Homo-oligomer: A and B are copies of this chain.
Amino acid sequence: MTEKPGEGETHTKLGPGPEFDRIRGIARRLGEHASGLGDDCALLTVGDLTLVLSTDLSVENVHFRSTWLSPQEIGWRAAAAALSDLAAEAATPLGVLASIAVPATASPEEVEQLMEGVGDAAASVGAWVLGGDLSRAETWVIDVTVVGTTDNPIRRSGARPGDQLWVSGTLGGSRAALSLWLQGVEPDPEARLAFAHPEPRIALGRRLGESGAHAMLDLSDGLAGDARHLAAASACAITIDLAALPIHPSVAAVAAKSGMAPQRFGAMGGEDYELLVAMPDTFTEADAARLASECRVTLTRIGAVSEGAGATFLSGGVPVELAGFDHFA
C-alpha cells in the first residue's frame, strides 16, 4: 500500500551551513530508516495519493520574543511558517497539528489566543486544526505539523540550466523588524506585519506548479542561503542580480543605519516565507503578471540557472559575497 516517493532512498542534496551539517549527520545515522530528508516537505505515497508533510518548530528567545508578539501572532507565525513549506511543494493543505509548551506563568487565555492564531492561519488556507499536545516548559515552544496533498510535488532538486528564477513578494521586511526590535525600537507597521503575519503563498505555489515550475522552496534562511540550497539540490549554478530584488519598503531606513545597501540587506534577510522558484524560460513576464494578479502577490524575475554549481550574487555585474541566516551560526 505504501511506497517511498519517486526519489527512492536518496535524500535531497544539501547546501552548506552548520544546520545542514547536522541534518547530514542525522541522515547518515538514520540510514535506511529515513526517506527524502532535506527538502521543504516529506512526501509519502499512500495508494494513489501523495501526502505532503512538514513540521516547523518555533522557540521563544530563538525565533521570537514574547515581548514582541501577541500570543495570537506567535500562533499565526508558527503555523504560517509550516504552511509555507506546503506552498513551496505546490501542495493543498488539509490540516495542522500544534504542540505547545508554555511556562507555568502562562494563563489559559494566552494559550487559547495562541491556538486562535494557529486556527486563523489554518483557516486562511482552507485547513483545519486537527489536534495537538500541551505541556509545560521553561519558555514558550510551539511545533506545528502540516499535512497536505498534491498531484505534482515541486522539489528543490528540479532546476535546469536555462531556467529563470523568480521570487514572490518582497524581501527583508522580517529582518528589518528583527533588527529594530534588537535595537530596542518598535518596528514600523509594515515591517512588523512582515515578521508577525507572514502569508503562506499556497495559491501562488499551486499555480506555479500548474505552470510548469521545475524547482521551488520557501525563503526561511534568507535568499543568500536558500539560493545555495536550491543550487546544491539541483546540481546547477544560480546567478542572481541584486539590483533585480524586490525589497520590502521598510528595509531602506534600517539598512542605511548599518551602512548596508538595501539589496544586500534583503538578500541576507531571514524568515521572509516567500517562494523562490525556477521556471522554464517559456514562462514569460506576462504569465508572471497574470499569476501575480490572480494570487495578489508580486512575482519578480531575479536571476537564472546555468550549468555549474553554487549561487552567485551580482552587484553591477560583479560577484559579491553574501552570508545566509542560520539558527546554528
Residues of A within 8 A of B (CB): 1-2, 4, 19, 21-23, 25-26, 28-31, 33-37, 41-42, 44, 46-49, 51, 53-59, 61-63, 94-95, 97-101, 108, 111-113, 115-116, 119-120, 122-123, 128-139, 141, 143, 145, 147, 149, 327-328
Distance between A80 CB and nearest chain B CB, rounded to angstroms: 15
CB contacts (< 8 Å) of A141 on chain B: these are 57, 59, 101, 137, 141
B34 touches A129 (CB 8 A): yes
Interchain CB contact (< 8 A) of A95 among B44, B130, B131:
B44
Distance between A303 CB and nearest chain B CB, rounded to angstroms: 28
Given contacts A22-B134, A55-B143, A62-B137, contact A94 B30 (CB under 8 A): no
9 A-B contacts (beta carbon < 8 Å): A1-B149, A22-B111, A33-B120, A33-B128, A34-B129, A46-B149, A47-B47, A56-B133, A58-B135
- Sorted nearest first, the 4 A-B pairs with minimum C-beta distance are A42-B130, A33-B119, A143-B143, A42-B131
Distance between A111 CB and nearest chain B CB, rounded to angstroms: 6
Chain B CB within 10 Å, residue with most, of A51, A63, A120:
A51
Interchain CB contact (< 8 A) of A143 among B34, B35, B46, B99:
B99
A59 touches B131 (CB 8 A): no
Distance between A306 CB and nearest chain B CB, rounded to angstroms: 30
Interchain CB contact (< 8 A) of A136 among B55, B59, B138:
B59
A137 touches B139 (CB 8 A): yes
Cα distance, A122 to B99, chains bound together (Å): 20
